[in-house]
């Protein structure tokens, strides 16, 4: 059995995963599990079996919100949020086809803001996300409600720390 | 006025501005003034840790270095997500010499760990319940609040050292000191959908509907929240009838008769005014 995937995920995340005994507490408590193609514990098993592509191509790794419900319910405190972060980072590095492109677009639009200003300008974030995903008309009324009530700041602010941030992001 | 150093955060100056302003009003009434961290930058939030281990610790670390440079000891944070990210990075950098070397190279200074992020609920507790009761000149009689903590107040104690559990009694008494009542609420820690509200609105709709439905069945006539993203999702998402959603600090300001409370509440997407009129609160 090829253990290289498991070893690499363990090294990158600083976590071990032998503790999982598939009790399904993580899956039972996950607020988005019904939309996932694999349960969190299944991803652990697949990783142990060396099924690298199947794991990194899965929708589940992008749907994870990072709410920490899984780890708080896990009897062995298996760090699934750290596992998901590592899977996503590897999927991007290895240029695996991302099966939830809209979610990745949101992350990118958000980080674009951080790169540009050192802070997130929410209106700019939403415009960029809509542009990246071509979903200008989806959810219009929600955005209009927020605008009408004056809930968005209309002008961006910048941080003096943006130079270092650019350095980090362009490294 | 005694200063409170704090980390503002991107939501708190935009969609979550009512949380920041109402906290500031409460703090002022207790003799404190807010001092924002100079030149703060984004903590990176979910998108940073979702795709890069480097962003996850370097973005927050930049702010912690700034805080140390500015001589801050307690750095109050309002947004639970910023709060968790700051602690996560602080721990990662202080435990790993390699990471701290990168911090030094990038920001010109090592992280020493002299600045400690403090969650605003800890700060509120410091204001004192008796003092709060005294200041609540316009008690919120008849308000039945479902306290909604969401994910980040209740599951990351091993990262931040903060858990809502030991504060539960305090928060219930705080609501009581305003003349309102906290009802038992089973979904107090259920996720609101967080960032999926943008990318998967229909999933967030279901999650939010369920939270409102449970709150109503618990006898609540409003939800009280502690997070700008929870607030936005609980108002914006969901198809069924919504209860009004108040920040804890808005409820406090309202009971203290703050003239600005009407302005904040007027910006809510679920208008709290019918409830306040019915209860003859405002």
Q: What is the pLDDT of residue A156?
A: 92
The dihedral sign for the CA sequence B32, B182, B153, B263: negative
Q: Are both B104 and B46 inside the same structural domain? A: yes
CA distance A49 to chain B (A): 24
Q: Are both B114 and B26 inside the same structural domain? A: yes
Q: What is the pLDDT of residue B211?
A: 98
Residue A63 touches chain B, beta carbons under 8 Å = yes
CA distance B212 to B245: 10
Q: Are both B226 and B264 inside the same structural domain? A: yes
Q: Are both B13 and B113 inside the same structural domain? A: yes
Last residue of a domain, one of B95, B120, B145: B120
Cβ atoms of B90 and B98 closer than 8 Å: no
Last residue of a domain, one of B120, B139, B174: B120
Q: What is the CATH number of the domain that holds B200?
A: 3.40.50.11810
Closest CA to B243 of B144, B153, B140: B144
Q: Where are the alpha helices (DSSP H) in A4-155?
A: 4-13, 25-29, 40-48, 52-56, 60-63, 69-73, 80-93, 101-117, 122-133, 140-148
Q: Are both B154 and B273 inside the same structural domain? A: yes
pLDDT digits (tens, 9 = 90+) for B43-53: 999 999 999 99
Above 90 in pLDDT, residue A144? Answer: no
Q: DSSP code of A76? A: T
Average pLDDT over residues B80-90: 97
Q: How many residue pairs bridge chain A and chain B with CB atoms within 8 Å of each other? A: 148
pLDDT digits (tens, 9 = 90+) for B271-281: 999 999 999 99
pLDDT digits (tens, 9 = 90+) for B17-58: 999 999 999 999 999 999 999 999 999 999 999 999 999 999
Q: Are both B82 and B144 inside the same structural domain? A: no
Residues of A in contact with B204 (CB under 8 A): none
DSSP B210-254: HHHHHHHHTT-SEEEES-HHHHHHHHHS-SS----EEEHHHHHHH
CA distance B278 to A21: 53
Angle between helices A40-48 and A80-93 (to 10 degrees): 60
The domain tally of chain B equals 2
**ipTM of predicted assembly, 2 dp:** 0.95
Q: Are both B116 and B139 inside the same structural domain? A: no
CA distance B71 to chain A (A): 18
Above 90 in pLDDT, residue A140? Answer: no
Domain hosting B239: range is 128-278
Q: Are both B65 and B82 inside the same structural domain? A: yes
Q: Are both B268 and B185 inside the same structural domain? A: yes
Q: What is the pLDDT of residue A142?
A: 86
B15, B40, B201 member nearest A139 (Cβ): B201
Q: What is the pLDDT of residue B282?
A: 84
pLDDT digits (tens, 9 = 90+) for B128-143: 999 999 999 999 999 9
pLDDT digits (tens, 9 = 90+) for A36-72: 999 999 999 999 999 999 999 999 999 999 999 999 9
Above 90 in pLDDT, residue B239? Answer: yes
Q: Are both B194 and B262 inside the same structural domain? A: yes
Q: What is the pLDDT of residue A141?
A: 84
Q: What is the pLDDT of residue B176?
A: 97
pLDDT level of residue A139 (50, 70, 90 thresholds): confident
Above 90 in pLDDT, residue A138? Answer: no
Residues of A in contact with B207 (CB under 8 A): 31
Residue B15 touches chain A, beta carbons under 8 Å = yes
Flag if B14 and A121 touch (Cβ within 8 Å): yes
Residue A135 touches chain B, beta carbons under 8 Å = no
């Amino acid at each position: 059995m090829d253990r290289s995937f498991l070893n690499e995920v363990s090294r990158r995340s600083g976590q071990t995963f032998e503790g999982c005994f598939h009790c399904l507490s993580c899956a039972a408590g996950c607020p988005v599990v019904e939309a996932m193609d694999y349960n969190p514990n299944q991803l652990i098993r697949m990783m142990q079996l060396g099924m690298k592509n199947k794991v990194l191509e899965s929708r589940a790794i992008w749907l994870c919100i990072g709410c920490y419900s899984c780890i708080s319910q896990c009897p062995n405190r298996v760090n699934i949020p750290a596992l998901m972060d590592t899977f996503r980072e590897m999927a991007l590095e290895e240029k695996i086809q991302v099966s939830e492109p809209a979610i990745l677009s949101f992350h990118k639009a958000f980080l674009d803001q951080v790169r540009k200003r050192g802070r997130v300008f929410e209106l700019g974030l939403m415009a960029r996300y809509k542009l990246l995903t071509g979903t200008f008309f989806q959810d219009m009324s929600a955005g209009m409600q927020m605008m009408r009530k004056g809930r968005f700041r209309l002008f961006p602010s910048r941080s003096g720390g943006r130079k270092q941030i650019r350095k980090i992001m362009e490294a | 006025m005694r200063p409170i150093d704090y980390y503002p955060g991107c939501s708190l100056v935009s969609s979550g501005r009512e949380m920041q302003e109402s906290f500031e009003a409460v703090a002022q009434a207790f003799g404190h003034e807010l001092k924002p961290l100079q030149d703060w930058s984004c903590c990176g939030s979910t998108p940073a840790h979702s795709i890069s281990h480097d962003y996850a610790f370097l973005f927050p670390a930049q702010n912690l270095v700034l805080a140390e440079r500015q001589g801050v000891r307690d750095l109050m944070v309002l947004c639970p997500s910023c709060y968790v990210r700051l602690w996560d990075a602080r721990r990662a950098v202080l435990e790993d010499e390699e990471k701290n070397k990168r911090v030094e190279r990038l920001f010109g200074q090592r992280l020493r760990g002299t600045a400690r992020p403090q969650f605003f609920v800890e700060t509120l507790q410091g204001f004192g319940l008796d003092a709060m009761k005294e200041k609540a000149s316009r008690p919120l009689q008849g308000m039945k609040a479902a306290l909604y903590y969401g994910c980040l107040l209740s599951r990351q104690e091993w990262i931040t050292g903060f858990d809502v559990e030991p504060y539960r009694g305090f928060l219930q008494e705080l609501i009581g000191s305003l003349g309102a009542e906290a009802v038992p609420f089973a979904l107090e820690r259920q996720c609101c959908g967080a960032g999926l509200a943008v990318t998967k609105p229909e999933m967030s709709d279901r999650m939010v509907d369920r939270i409102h439905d449970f709150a109503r069945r618990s006898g609540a006539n409003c939800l009280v929240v502690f997070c700008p993203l929870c607030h936005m999702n609980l108002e914006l998402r969901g198809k069924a009838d919504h209860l009004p959603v108040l920040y804890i600090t808005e409820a406090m300001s309202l009971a203290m008769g703050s003239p600005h409370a009407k302005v904040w509440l007027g910006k809510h997407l679920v208008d709290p005014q019918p409830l306040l009129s019915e209860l003859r609160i405002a």
